[in-house]
Amino acid sequence: MKYYYKVVSTYSHGNLRSVMGRKKSICCLMYPLNRWVKPKIGKIFIFDTLGNANSFLLYGCKIYKCLAVGVYPIKFNKIPDPPVFLRNRIIPKFWKVKGNKNREKFFLFNKNAGGIEPPTGTLLAEKVKLIMEEK
């Protein structure tokens, strides 16, 4: 069984959610332990190693070991800048783009989408199940 790593933020009463998103955002997912979570749109960003997840770790966030289905490497060079994840209109447009080359062009035509290189070791997954917190 292959394990991956998911960086999540905690909010009231220790509940876990997406790092890049507000509670009412289409891209913000809630992560109950030991339950499969699938996004409403797009894919879930996970990491291949604990070390790479630690490199991305932000203040107030935690890393969880997880299982994942439909895992594959990112084949495009840019993802929306983190503040963009808070804007609902940009995210659906980004994920609806077909093909990796077209996704690259997305940033040329959507200047307010930002665009950063994915952190080292970032993978995409169809669905994820958090298993346990890494200490």
Q: What is the rounded CA–CA span in Å between residue 35 and residue 100?
A: 30
Q: What is the rounded CA–CA span in Å between residue 65 and residue 49?
A: 10
Residue 32 confidence (pLDDT)? 94
Pure H helices in the chain: 50-56, 90-96, 100-109
Q: What is the rounded CA–CA span in Å between residue 122 and residue 90?
A: 20
Instruction: Give me the tens of pLDDT residue by residue for the chain, a chain 135 residues long.
Output: 899 999 998 887 778 988 866 666 667 889 999 999 998 888 899 999 999 999 988 777 899 999 999 999 887 777 766 655 555 566 777 777 776 666 666 666 665 556 677 889 999 999 999 999 998
- Note the pTM of the prediction, 2 decimals: 0.81
The DSSP symbol for 114 reads -
Domain containing 48: what range?
4-133
